[in-house]
Amino acid sequence: MIQTKDLSKAYNGTTVLHIDELTIPKGQSFGLVGNNGAGKTTYFSLLLDLIKPTTGRITSNKVVVDQSEDWKPFTSAFIDESFLIGYLTPEEYFYFIGDLRGQNKADIDALTSQFEDFFNGEILGKKKYLRDLSKGNQKKAGIVAALIGNPEVIILDEPFANLDPTTQIRLKQILKDLAQKQGVTILVSSHDLMHVTDVCERIVVLEKGNVVKDLETNPTTLKELEAHFSGSMATLEEE
């Protein structure tokens, strides 16, 4: 379970995120949506202790994330390409992450073999460094690396961006299986409302750092989200 309490983050006196209370149960597929600057990446960065909160705390499985590193063994993430090691090949990177998570080469080979269709023949065995892959293929490598070691919590920031339609569909199935069949807590941020409603059973909308909607996904959720953001655009145009 992930619990957020009285959380805020401010830069130079300007608050960019403020969440009074937010609880994400174990095994939930959770979506975070919002326009640019809404606070999505800030929240994930706080959850991963990449930045420190101005006030409040996030607790993951009873561990306060900015006070202890005990959350790291059961948590993984891919936020952006900075999580990769550019001078390694994908295989070297997977083995490196596996070593950190107590997995041997055979474990990693068994895992990556499950994602041959996701890689589409463009990742493994190509003798290319990660830095030389396309943005989409870097993302594929980062996402699969986040699955190494059977994490209980997986955090993905804009996982569908730069992926072709076939890969997006495969990724949605991967994430659904992790949450529904394996009980993994999945946190996804996305600008793509259709993808996030397909994948997530719950969606929170952030606006200027505040939670403005907290929805349990149902057949009308996509239309509700589209209506909300259409209204937001109209407000911006009026201003």
Domain regions of the chain by residue span:
2-82+152-238
> How would residue 233 be classed by pLDDT, with cut points 50, 70 and 90?
very low
- What are the pLDDT digits (tens) for 94-147? 999 999 999 999 999 999 999 988 998 899 988 899 999 999 999 999 999 999
How far is it, in rounded angstroms, from Cα 169 to Cα 166?
A: 5
State pTM to two decimals: 0.91
Q: What is the mean pLDDT of the chain?
A: 92
Q: Give which of 43, 69, 70, 38 is closest to 56, Cα–Cα.
A: 43
> How would residue 177 be classed by pLDDT, with cut points 50, 70 and 90?
very high
- What are the pLDDT digits (tens) for 73-87? 999 999 988 999 999
Residue with structure tokens 């937001």? 232
Paired tokens of 80: 């952006």
pLDDT of 232 strictly over 70: no
- Residue 146: the pLDDT is 96
Number of H helices, E strands in the chain: 8, 10
Amino acid residing at 229? F
φ, ψ at 104 (rounded to 5°): -90, 175
φ, ψ at 236 (rounded to 5°): -65, -40
- Residue 231: the pLDDT is 78
DSSP per residue over 169-211, as a string? HHHHHHHHHHHHHH--EEEEE-S-HHHHHHH-SEEEEEETTEE
How far is it, in rounded angstroms, from Cα 144 to Cα 7?
A: 30
Q: What are residue 31's DSSP bridge partners?
A: 188, 203
Q: Which of the following CATH numbers is that of domain 2-82+152-238: 1.10.510.10, 3.30.70.1380, 3.40.50.300, 3.90.730.10?
A: 3.40.50.300
pLDDT of 235 strictly over 50: no
